[in-house]
Amino acid sequence: MPATTKQNLLVILADEHSPKALGCAGHPFVHTPHLDALAARGTRFSAAYTPSPICVPARAALATGRELHAMGRYHDNADPYDGALRSWHHAARDAGHEVVSIGKLHFRGLPGDPSRGLPADDHGFSEERLAMHVVDGKGDLLSLIRDDTAQPRKGAAKMSATAGPGESDYTRYDRDITAAAQIFLRGKAGSTPKQPRDKPWVVFVSLVTPHFPLIAPPEHFYRYPPEIVGLPKLYAPQDRPTHPAIVDYATAIPYDSHVADIATTQRMMAGYYGLVSFMDEQVGKILACLADCGLDASTRVLYASDHGDNVGARGLWGKSVMYEESVGIPMILAGAQVPQARVVGTPVSLTDVAATVLDLLGVAEPPPEGSTSLFDIACGAEPDRVVLSEYHASGSREAAFMLRDGPYKYVRYATYPPQLFDLGADPEELDDLARDPSNALLIARMEIALRERLGTDPAEIDARVKVRQAEILAANGGAEAVRARGDLPYSPPPGVRAAWS
């Protein structure tokens, strides 16, 4: 059922926000009052997922509403969205709506070269403010080298070394993004001409925290002393999973091997949770401005993250794996006609944002296949949904596919043993049911569902992606040239030079 009232839409995206790191999701100590309040006046989706647990592919899928295998590109952090495939930004702009982006996009972002007849990348926005794109239009070329874990990423050492209280390029950038968002909203409430009633605007505000570096402003860092944060689950070496895909990731991107002691672990955790609270504070400022401008009654709000973060669980940091902390995301929809204080367990995905935006703005264009309006689901629709995520990037020798079907999560690799979890009975994913031969029929059912979703054998997609990655690698001089370029632990915000390792 389409939304009966067209309204403005404020989309707020965080970066690397674990779905578990929310007070309203039951976290025992994380301080997120503004997001908790948003959830109280809206609907929270408790089984929301990223289409890929890494930045660039997730954001391409968010833009297009399509899964990675369906796009045939944008698989890793060296294959950024260039506007070639139609996005919800294009659709809304073409329908006459103002579509403004503020903050991180992580698209290709090439400015074009008129002297050579090369147009600038058109990502579909009416305007991009403070846009952060991938470095040099190329991104993380090291993510293309997947068959060798013998040369770990050098930048991994920086996560533990820099964690602590203070300000970083990212917290400063987020303050600028928050200020720009408030300026945009003030402009909409001021003397500027009002948009036609049938053409509401949409603004996409994309924050970069709590993505590392794990440097949090002191007032937030010190909320989380050691006696509060404790230790991550399954952190002791003897408790960590030994699945080969997890070992590959931990070896290639060895964040935890640089953690000297428990005090360092807890300092990193305080940095992460401090950044979550800092990010929540920025969300609060934006929402307070929306209300102060008198726009809250005419504007719906959608909050999500591009992917999650392991935060030390199982000895893992960052994202890139299919455990809930990494592949799961928070997602909240609030505003007119959205049920309040509701929690919906239907599996949803960032790919559903496309259908949601078109629905809430009243754009007549059909949504991408498989993209479903979150408004419909919030209002009680109960589609028989199976949600997919894929990973083809750094730290993975072979592709990983995650299928969420009801309470079950099936993780399929090209050749490695699969994993299977019953999230209803085992939300912390402590018991891998795939190791029990008695679950063979259930695994077979999940395998059939996965192949139907992909339209082919998962190994065939793995091979196809690696061909594209080899072509991009060759176009950039090959593996040795890419290694010589250096490692970039995280993309710099606008105006900041890249710090290569």
Distances (CA, A) of 480 to 141, 218, 465: 11, 41, 20
pLDDT-derived band at 156 (thresholds 50, 70, 90) equals confident
Give the pLDDT confidence score for residue 152 in this predicted structure. 87
As a whole number of angstroms, the distance between CA 250 and CA 256 comes to 8
What pLDDT digit, counting tens, does each position of 69-78 carry?
999 999 999 9
Average pLDDT over residues 93-110: 97
- pLDDT at residue 114, as a whole number: 80
For residues 161-188, give the mean pLDDT.
Answer: 97
The yes-or-no verdict on residue 193 having pLDDT over 70 is: no
CATH of 8-385, one of 3.40.50.920, 3.40.50.2020, 3.50.50.60, 3.40.720.10: 3.40.720.10
How far is CA 418 from its chain centroid? 24
Q: Is the pLDDT of residue 500 over 90?
A: no
pLDDT at 230: 98
Question: pLDDT exceeding 90 applies to what percent of the chain?
Answer: 91
* Domain limits, the chain: 8-385
> Mean pLDDT for the chain?
95
- pLDDT of 481 reads 95
CA distances from 493 to 13, 40, 102, 133, 280 (A): 16, 33, 12, 8, 20
Whether the predicted pLDDT of 2 surpasses 70: no
Take residue 74 and report the two structure tokens written for it: 């944008």
Pair 443, 410: CB distance under 8 Å: yes
- Average pLDDT of 348-372? 97
Percent of the chain with pLDDT over 70: 97
Indicate if the pLDDT at residue 192 is higher than 60.
no
With 0.85 as the threshold, say if the pTM is over it: yes
pLDDT at 354 over 70: yes
Residue 488 confidence (pLDDT): 87
Contacts of 19 (CB under 8 A, 6+ apart): 25, 46, 48, 305, 308, 324, 325, 328, 329, 330
How far, in Å, CA of 422 to CA of 460, rounded?
27
Q: What pLDDT, on a 0 to 100 scale, did the predictor assign at position 123?
A: 98
